[in-house]
């Protein structure tokens, strides 16, 4: 069964304290790996798509990387406004079903 | 700006009273999705439309229906809401089905009294 696991479930950082969020996936072939940011009471906001192992993408303080088994979202010198839940989702090869497999998310809190 | 719009943002309904949530998009995307998301859980896909072709997830209750009258609009109908249907309902769109990014709307928070 296709599965995506995110860790940790929750992470508290001090402003400026860099860290990484993990997204491990077990899918029958990966077509793409997506990262989203979700603020409380809002819809997920697209951050990155990664398609192949070794690929990296950056946006401001965020950098996403992909290996054959997992993806990391690195947050460098975070600010309080980076506080949110970060979701990853895998797009697996599935015969006849076009469905992303989401993780439950990592809730990030950055304290000033 | 091109975007995905959901109305209303908050909806209160009574147990068993039908309710309709709406989604519109200005992205001109072929695919529109409806997800249900409960607190601290991952979004759960209910169904999607590729153009006019409707695809229902196997575990989506019959209580949930959808309509897509044109490219821009998609509706979620809940025929007889139960207390367990209280959740955030998310609409998303994508250009295609494979390797395409899904863009989400702001969501509609449904409360069932």
Q: Tell me whether B81 touches chain A (CB under 8 Å).
A: no
Mean pLDDT of chain A: 94
DSSP state, residue A2: -
Q: What is the mean pLDDT of residues B4-13?
A: 95
DSSP state, residue A76: -
Instruction: Say how far apart CA A32 and CA A28 lie, in whole Å.
Output: 12
CB B79 within 8 A of CB B63: yes
Q: Which band of pLDDT confidence, cut at 50, 70 and 90, is reported for residue B2?
A: low
pLDDT at B40 over 90: no
Can you give the pLDDT at residue B112? 96
Contact B107 A32 (CB under 8 A): no
CB A100 within 8 A of CB A49: no
pLDDT digits (tens, 9 = 90+) for B10-35: 999 999 999 999 999 999 999 999 99
Among chain B residues, the shortest Cα distance to A49 is held by B101
pLDDT digits (tens, 9 = 90+) for B47-106: 999 999 999 998 999 999 999 999 999 999 999 999 999 999 999 999 988 888 999 999
CA–centroid distance for A63 within its chain = 10
pLDDT at A84 over 70: yes
Instruction: Say how far apart CA A109 and CA A58 lie, in whole Å.
Output: 20
Q: Tell me whether B105 touches chain A (CB under 8 Å).
A: yes
With the C-alpha atoms ordered A20, A73, A93, B92, is the resulting torsion angle positive or negative? positive
Can you give the pLDDT at residue A28? 81
Cβ contacts of residue B53 below 8 Å, gap of 6+? none
- As beta bridge partners, residue B108 has B89
Can you give the pLDDT at residue B99? 81
Can you give the pLDDT at residue A92? 87
Q: Tell me whether A39 touches chain B (CB under 8 Å).
A: no
Q: Which band of pLDDT confidence, cut at 50, 70 and 90, is reported for residue A29?
A: confident
Structure-model confidence comparison of residues A80 and B99, the more confident one: A80
pLDDT at B1 over 70: no
Contact A98 B99 (CB under 8 A): no
pLDDT at A96 over 60: no
Can you give the pLDDT at residue A95? 58
Instruction: Say how far apart CA B23 and CA B7 lie, in whole Å.
Output: 7
pLDDT digits (tens, 9 = 90+) for A55-65: 999 999 999 99
Question: What percent helix, strand, coil does chain B show, rounded to 5?
Answer: 5, 50, 45
State the DSSP H helix or E strand holding residue A25, giving kind and residue range, or none if neither: strand A19-26
Cβ contacts of residue A101 below 8 Å, gap of 6+? A2, A3, A4, A25, A27, A89, A90, A91, A92
């Amino acid at each position: 069964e296709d599965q995506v696991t995110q860790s940790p479930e929750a992470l508290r950082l001090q402003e400026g304290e860099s860290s990484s969020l993990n997204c491990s996936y077990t899918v029958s072939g990966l077509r793409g790996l997506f990262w989203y940011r979700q603020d409380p009471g809002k819809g997920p906001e697209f951050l990155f798509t990664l398609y192949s192992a070794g690929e990296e993408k950056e946006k401001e303080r965020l950098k996403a990387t992909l290996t054959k088994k997992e993806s990391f979202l690195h947050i460098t010198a975070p600010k309080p406004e980076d506080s949110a839940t970060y979701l990853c989702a895998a797009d697996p090869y599935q015969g006849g079903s076009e469905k992303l497999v989401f993780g439950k998310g990592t809730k990030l809190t950055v304290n000033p | 700006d091109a975007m995905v719009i959901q109305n209303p943002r908050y909806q209160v309904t009574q147990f068993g009273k039908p309710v309709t949530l709406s989604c519109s998009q200005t992205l001109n995307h072929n695919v529109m999705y409806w997800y249900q998301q409960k607190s601290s859980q991952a979004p759960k896909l209910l169904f999607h439309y590729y153009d006019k072709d409707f695809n229902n997830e196997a575990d989506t209750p019959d209580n949930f229906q959808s309509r897509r009258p044109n490219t821009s609009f998609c509706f979620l109908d809940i025929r007889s809401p139960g207390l367990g249907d209280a959740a955030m309902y998310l609409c998303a769109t994508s250009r295609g089905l494979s390797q395409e990014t899904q863009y989400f709307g702001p969501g509609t928070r449904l409360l069932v009294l």
